[in-house]
Structure 1
């Protein structure tokens, strides 16, 4: 039987309202973004700022050492830690302290934005999983998904709250084949195989068989850095206390509608990923 997915609408999201934490920033959680390279620090910046715009209370960035000073200036709201690099400028495999301490204390860890070396990313991902308490939510994106495809049982049976955010290329690696036209079914297959919530181009699936789809996304979202924004948006919603499937549905909707809000100013395909960031709070607030 084909998977029957529910369309994500404002009415659905209002019935599935996000937690509204009270108190200080600690009540909205700590997001740690692990990623970047000497040549791709912007991915970490986009994901981190998106997490804050989605409501995270505390932001920490762990990126290639050569980019840390610039990131700390560009994102003054964040604690920024430089990680050892390979000769090619990629983040090295198992940095150890201080990354292990940051992972252990974070509520959400997003791994992948801007990473560039698949082998080093595999070591880094294992290090994060070793250091993260079982209740820590994880968002795996970009090269972290490639690393996961090389170790498909890494999350199975772990009981961890995890969301995977593949694009079609990354879905190909995770599936071991080209995705078919039915992305609802492909997302469901990935969710079952990897025991995680999957958000594939607005098609969301949980391991228990529940499926949703977001239908308002347009071509403009297919722009450099857009996936980093989506990953950070997800992390921020998880940090506020949303459960993985809920966060994935809200993030897919907020990502798409934030793009719609930019169309009158920039056209369907003229806006930049960084311009999505300022639209996120208003989009979430007006559901």
Structure 2
């Protein structure tokens, strides 16, 4: 049962915790494995991973809850003991609360000389952890069925684990993280590594999971193929080879074949946003890019980039211009503002018959003046998503998967919900993106993304392929910047040369 680093060897499907809990038993039965045997296989696979990652391990603490995740922990503890490792189990419940397979695993554990400490008798403290010189903590407190707030004293125990200098490996999911949503209602273990079982759980790949999962590994327990074959995925994972094909440049093509992108934005005092979007479009293969911005910004937007063209600066003039007539795609929103000038441009664009990309201030205007179209791409961050849905940012982040589906249902088209593990959805499918890093949390990154999307829409046959590829390239370019220069101080414009490089490479 090999354990593979998930993002190096991606399954194409991700599932909600509910799907796994409802179907793992039937899939196991189908291949002739009992649920207790599955628990033993999970514990064995996890322990083998630990031995591979930490061959010098001599002193192990396993923190267990009363459910099946705790049962996995009991198996891990027993196997470690049998391998000659000193093992301590910290049990955050009582033996009479155990049942089923977890009870069976505990009874097997009790036949050894492993020390079992009960939370009711002793609180987990930093002094206890440091005084016992543990090499590793295994987190087997809560599994994928966890939801809601974490009660005391469990929350305190988790926070203790998060503030000691000892590696923590989580079993299936970091305790306290909701495996379907990526949300942390109260607190959750910040793991160095997580080994998840059978299939990828969608909540481990988006939202707050980025802080808690650490390196993510998958152990299929010999059920992954059968599960994916039998159960319809909740989301697809994109990364590595599982992304749309890049555009190919015909040797006989000319700029007219690719067409003109019209980028609209940058109200008075906000010149940078539309410049970032339009220049990223050029670097992404848009042959012709014209910019419509406030007249006060025109010199600043064009400065140093003579390849950009200048379109009229107001809605009435723009409507009668050849730029609007010939534009293949319209991009609106970066720096647009909320003024009457902004609203007039917004109305012009959404009432056109062009393919559209709406970002930033255009999304604010859309929230105030709702429309629904099937041929546009919306690119909200969580704050903009909250305004589109008339809710709080906290509600968006509590279930990013539900939020993006609601936006598509309400507004139509394609939506990109930006953030760690950005989500892409249309009316039929949802994808989780795997590229990108925390260095991207800086101004202008969203503008660059909108430019890439618009440029690729001009070069690919399907807007969803253009959007998915753009999101991946955007994150991958930032990963290259982070690798060469670091995450701190990363600028949105730093991505330009890497975007061009990635589009021209044979491999990602």
CA 1:223–1:100 in 2, change beyond 3 Å: closer, same or farther? farther
Deviation at 1:265, TM superposition (A): 3.3
Task: Work out the CA distance in 2 between the residues paired with 1:210 and 1:103.
Answer: 32
Once the two structures are TM-superposed, the CA of residue 189 in structure 1 deviates from its matched residue by 1.3
1:137 aligns with 2:351: no
Please give the alpha-carbon distance, in whole angstroms, between the structure 2 residues aligned to 1:117 and 1:129.
15
Instruction: State the alpha-carbon separation in 2 of the partners of residues 96 and 104 from structure 1.
Output: 13
SS at match of 1:263: helix
Matched, 1:97 2:317: yes
Check conservation: 2:258, 2:459, Cα contact below 8 A. yes
Match of 1:88 in 2: none
Q: Deviations over 1:216-249 (max 9, x none)?
A: 2211111111110001011110111342211111
Deviation of residue 32 (structure 1)?
A: 0.8
1:259-278 → structure 2 map (5 Å cutoff): 259-278=478-497
8 Å contact from structure 1 (residues 118, 147) kept in 2? no
Q: 2:426 aligns with which of 196, 206, 216?
A: 206
**Deviation at 1:99?**
4.5
**Residue aligned with 1:59, SS:** strand
Residues 100 and 128 of structure 1 are in contact (CA less than 8 Å); yes or no, is this contact kept in structure 2? no
State whether residues 319 and 348 of structure 2, in contact with CA within 8 Å, keep that contact through their aligned partners in structure 1.
Answer: no
In structure 2, the gaps of 5 or more residues are: 1-14, 17-232
Distance change in 2, residues 1:43/1:100 (3 Å)? farther
Q: Is the 8 A contact 1:118 1:143 kept in 2?
A: no
Q: Secondary structure at the match of 2:330?
A: strand
List per-residue Cα deviations over 1:99-126 (Å, max 9, x = no partner): 5432221001100011122554333211
If the length of structure 1 is used for normalisation, what is the TM-score?
Answer: 0.87
Q: Indicate the residue corresponding to 1:169 in structure 2.
A: 383
**SS in structure 2 at match of 1:97:** helix
Aligned to 2:328: 107
Aligned length: 267
**Structure 1 unmatched runs, 5+:** 85-94
Distance 1:99 1:34, change over 3 A: farther
Classify the secondary structure of the residue corresponding to 2:398: coil
CA contact (8 A) 1:65 1:81 kept: no
- 5 Å-filtered alignment, 1:207-286, equals 207=427, 209-284=428-503, 285=505, 286=507
Contact 1:49 1:232 (C-alpha < 8 Å) held by counterparts: yes
Distance in 2 between residues matched to 1:4 and 1:121, nearest whole Å = 38
Measure the CA separation in 1 of the matches of 2:298 and 2:261: 17
